[in-house]
Chain A
Amino acid sequence: MSRLKEFTTQSARPLPVVLLADVSGSMGGDGKIQALNHAVREMIEAFLDESDLRVEIQVAVITFGGEARIHLPLRPSREAAWTDLEASGGTPMGAAFNIARELIEDRQVIPGRAYRPTIVLVSDGQPTDSWQEPLNALLESERGGKAFRMAMAIGADADHDVLQAFLGDPEARVFQAGEARQIRQFFQLVTMSVSSRSRSANPNSTPSLPDDGWDL
């Protein structure tokens, strides 16, 4: 046995994935919330299949529908007990940005040895609270601005401007889901992105994903 075991931590470095999920009332139509539940459950199960112990993929889910709250606290994907989301209320996206910033900046929750988090935002509507200031605070925070970010607009009523602002790069792509099955496709892309990083020689490097072949 290595003597160094006495002086080192025994866990792999965490790779946090933080999902900001719109669960406002409008998500209740057209099978959207069911598709979202199915897709997130699949994503978490897929992370369990990442048998390479190079990283410990951790998942948190912050929902905003009526109120913003932590639906699933950040924890290793193998310990994530998923319960389905329900749709109701308005779209307090700004409040969700605040919770995400507090989570990512909390060094007790995400230690400095963690790999860069991935933050995923999915929404089908317009924010019903003040979102600009909380978003700026998230993007300008010491750690929030370093996170990888992915966004998906669900349906025609989604606010593309806020999703694009979340990405912080006018060239970055906001994925579009016109129908429920594309929500699943998007989360497969998120899964592929995170898995690609987890297997990379440097999980902090930007993942390269095929840009075509996705009906999004």
Chain B
Amino acid sequence: MVRVVASSVTGPAHQRYGLPCQDAWLAVPSDRACFAVVCDGMGSRPRAREGARAAIRAARDAWRAWSRSPVGSVEDLVRLLEVFWRLRLGTLPPEDCATTCLLYGEDGHGRAAIAQLGDGLIAHRAGDGRIRVHPSRTNDFGLTDALGCPHTLGHWSLALVAPLRPGEALLLATDGVSEDLEPSRLGDLVAWVTDDLGLQPQPWRQLAAELRRWPVPGHHDDKTLLVMWRP
């Protein structure tokens, strides 16, 4: 049984102005083929929250369609996602709804897709504890690619990998979390979620409480952390 612990919390900057969280996440912890996505609506855009929420659903819809075929490429998955996102926005201008998108989706045929547009972090913990960070095409200084901003397929960072095996885990985080993480402690962070929080009755509540107590001075961004693992 695949397990997931995830939470999004509103950052101090949005709290100060009474704005809701503009991050969103969604996971399908199915044994046959699991799926997870996190999105970070760009704070400078007026409908970023709607954009992020539309993106997680569009990503799930795209994954469901994509996983019906054993031969679809990761590029195909992303193309579907981009179309579904625009359809879900309806009459909202995409540029008002700009959002990053980071996803992991298994196809049930022995393959899994990783796709990342914009900043944030996707990391895989192997059974022996080794951490592999998915190479992003993130720009420095908070400038990020996003759905709703001019981009091409080439701006996505894509990979086709093996599905999660027993003992393996995947971490997805928006930049409000990933920018402040110590790279050398990623494995310990995953272990804390899987081996400590994962044993709690409502682990997402405790994770949310921890994210609200984010210990880095001056932090301001919304925060989303998602860990999916196969025990």
Q: What is the bound-complex CA distance between A143 and B192, given in angstroms?
A: 35
Query: Which of A4, A13, A54, A115: most chain B Cβ within 10 A?
Result: A4
Looking at chain B's contact residues, the main secondary structure is loop
Are A201 and B210 in contact, with the CB atoms below 8 A?
no
Looking at chain A's contact residues, the main secondary structure is loop
- By beta carbon, the residue of chain A nearest B16 is A201
Interface string of B183-219 (1 = CB under 8 A from A): 0011011001000100000000000001101111110
Query: Per a CB cutoff under 8 Å, which of B44, B141, B185, B213 touches A7?
Result: B185
Are A143 and B13 in contact, with the CB atoms below 8 A?
no
Q: How far is the CB of A3 from chain B (nearest CB, A)?
A: 6
- By beta carbon, the residue of chain A nearest B212 is A2
Q: How far is the CB of A157 from chain B (nearest CB, A)?
A: 35
- By beta carbon, the residue of chain B nearest A110 is B140
Q: What is the bound-complex CA distance between A56 and B217, given in angstroms?
A: 9
Query: Which of B179, B196, B214, B216: most chain A Cβ within 10 A?
Result: B216
- A83 close to B (CB within 8 Å): no
Are A201 and B141 in contact, with the CB atoms below 8 A?
no
- By beta carbon, the residue of chain B nearest A114 is B141
Chain B residues bordering chain A, tally (CB within 8 A): 30
Q: What is the bound-complex CA distance between A12 and B12, given in angstroms?
A: 14
Are A10 and B189 in contact, with the CB atoms below 8 A?
no
Are A7 and B188 in contact, with the CB atoms below 8 A?
yes
- By beta carbon, the residue of chain B nearest A52 is B218
* 8 Å CB interface, A79-100 against B: none
Are A4 and B214 in contact, with the CB atoms below 8 A?
yes
Question: Knowing A9-B180, A9-B182, A201-B13 touch, does A4 contact B140 (C-beta < 8 A)?
Answer: no
Are B140 and A142 in contact, with the CB atoms below 8 A?
yes
